[in-house]
Chain A
Amino acid sequence: MGIKPVTTDSQALKVLLVEDTASERLYISELLHQQGFEVHECASAEAALDWLDEHQVDMLVSDWRMPGMSGPQLCQIVKSRPSPPYVLMLTANADTGFLIQGIESGADDYLPKPFVPAVLKVRLLAAVRLIRLNQRLARQNHSLEQALTESSELNQRLATDLQQAALLQQSLLPAPSSDFDNWHCVSRFASANVLAGDVFHVFSISADELGFYLIDVAGHGAAAAMQAFSLAMTLSPCRCDWQRVSPANLLGHLNAQYRDPSHQGQFATALIGRLNLKSGECCLSSAGHPLPLRLDVEGCCHTIADNQCTGLPLGIDPKAHYLETRFHFSAGERMLLFSDGAYESQHPVHGSFGLSRLKQLALAAKPLKPDALIQHLFHAIHLWQGGSFQDDVSLILLCAPDCLTPSGRSHEQSAA
């Protein structure tokens, strides 16, 4: 009854046999062949090292005592190289000291000579199990590394994509500070993620008129950003006739165009306004958006009666109807537009920032110039959130000139 070969896998394992005695070498080599190994033989440790410079093996079977370099010395060098083979040390000495020295030199197993072939066979069997396990682990490791590289490349690509989308999105925003006639407009914006659900714009619609909008899509991230971008595109002065269509009708149009394909309950609040630069007359309409604060030169805060001009947010009822309100800026008056991120923020100890705090801050900072005022508010909100924005924050401050033209006043009367 022969012993069944230990390596039955399709790919034979490669063994390097190092043995100075020719007869021993022949005998062991034959045993290894019988077990299904592909065997290469060397008569000395030096020859084995030379050969290993050019070749890879799965296992090294080496004699202990050889002229020149010994088995343990060979083992030490081989094990110090990258991805070393399994090492089985053979010796004529069964002394425990040799066993310890052999294993310490890095050998994986140790077999005293003379041995019966069956013992060598089971030792080889154990070796093959380990080698195969190592091979499997190495393969798994490799594929994991590959998957990791692929997913980090994908992440990198997505991050780049998002950055580019964010740049495009930011290009929709007005300059932080701009002048229209004698009017001054400053704005600040910060997004909680790379992409924002807030978008706003202030722009000339004719020589005498200014249009502005502020949209806040619920939530933030890519989906909210896409929605905000698409709403901003719908409102673009190239696509909408801002001179003829009223803010309330623009909101109605925007609401009718609103899509929520994934039924996520996504909705948006929006504020649309038109301002006459000569007369200071302003027409406003809101879709569930907080109304702006009006800060006059006396240091009073005027509230706009919201039941007159605030309708449902966009995306809830396609038939929603929007109303508008009209008022006149007084000379030097400032109007602060903001998204809910400006006051909804939570402080771990002090709680909610709140609308009234925003109002108080804006009033207390009244003597500041517009740029300083908006920076002051922005900084306060930022501090409240502990230095990182929880939601997108948009702030726009529209400042009337110190005197509005008398023709504007007569316009007001005719409008009234």
Chain B
Amino acid sequence: MKFHPLPKSHASLITLPNEMVMAQTPTHRAALLKHMESGATSLVLDLTDVRYMDSSGLSVLVSVYKRSRELCGEVVLVSPSDGVRALIELTRLHQIFDIYEDRQAAIRYITARENPDA
């Protein structure tokens, strides 16, 4: 997992790892929540590299979604694979996450949201 704080905002771009499954769920959840506690209220989660995700991996996304709501932030997803997208849509989670195909567009959206006056 790689963290890139976005300039002039309380937002970060995070590249998620190859697998988001049960075994690593606690680690992933802790790392993301810790990053949010250190100031990133909104996240752009890049799912390009995620080849496999199970329902427990989804619960990590739900955790950060809930936390960002509490912090008045937002979480958007970038280019999930077909399989991951199918999983997200099957569980109806696309209702709470905006999904972008273009990373730059997602970053523009989140930074503009963070700085409405800029």
Listed in ascending order, the chain A residues whose CB lies under 8 Å from chain B are 216, 218-220, 263-267, 269, 287-290, 310-313, 315-317, 340, 344, 346, 352, 390-391
Contacts and interface: CB of A to CB of B under 8 A. Distances in A.
Nearest to A286: B92
B63 A216 contact: no
A352 B83 contact: yes
Contact of B92 (A219, A313, A340, A346): A313
Given A264-B59, A267-B62, A344-B54, A310 B29 contact: no
Contact of B63 (A265, A346, A390): A265
26 contacts: A216-B55, A218-B55, A218-B56, A218-B62, A219-B22, A263-B67, A264-B63, A265-B29, A265-B61, A265-B63, A265-B64, A266-B59, A267-B58, A267-B59, A287-B92, A288-B92, A290-B90, A313-B91, A313-B92, A313-B93, A316-B62, A316-B65, A340-B54, A340-B55, A344-B55, A391-B55
Contacts of A391: 22, 54-55
Contact of B95 (A265, A269, A312, A340): A312
Which residue of A265, A289, A313, A344 has the most chain B CB atoms within 10 A of its CB atom?
A265
Contact of B66 (A263, A287, A340): A263
Contacts of A315: 62
Contacts, number: 69
Contacts of A219: 22, 25, 55-56, 59
B27 to A, nearest CB: 13
B29 to A, nearest CB: 7
Interface of B: 22, 25, 29, 52, 54-56, 58-67, 83, 87, 90-93, 95-96
B62 A288 contact: no
A218 B59 contact: yes
B93 A265 contact: no
A252 B37 CA distance: 32
B32 to A, nearest CB: 10
> Lowest 4 CB-CB distances: which A-B pairs, in order?
A265-B63, A265-B62, A288-B91, A218-B59
B60 to A, nearest CB: 6
Interface of B is mostly: helix
Contacts of A311: 92
A310 B90 CA distance: 9
A242 to B, nearest CB: 24
Which residue of A220, A311, A313, A315 has the most chain B CB atoms within 10 A of its CB atom?
A313
A219 B21 CA distance: 9
Nearest to A216: B55
B63 A263 contact: yes
A6 B79 CA distance: 76
A219 B20 CA distance: 12
Contacts of A313: 91-93
A352 B92 CA distance: 20
B46 to A, nearest CB: 19
A313 B66 CA distance: 13
B62 to A, nearest CB: 4
Nearest to A224: B56
B56 A316 contact: no
Nearest to B92: A288
A220 B59 CA distance: 12
B66 A288 contact: no
B55 A316 contact: no
Contacts of B87: 344
Contacts of A267: 58-59, 62
A315 B62 CA distance: 9
Given A266-B62, A267-B59, 17 more contacts: A218-B56, A218-B59, A218-B62, A219-B22, A219-B25, A219-B55, A219-B56, A220-B22, A265-B61, A288-B93, A289-B91, A310-B92, A315-B62, A316-B62, A344-B54, A352-B83, A391-B55
A317 B90 CA distance: 17
Contacts of A216: 55
A340 B22 CA distance: 14
A362 to B, nearest CB: 17
A352 B51 CA distance: 11
A312 B96 contact: yes
A220 B22 CA distance: 9
A288 to B, nearest CB: 4
A119 to B, nearest CB: 61
A172 B22 CA distance: 25
B73 to A, nearest CB: 15
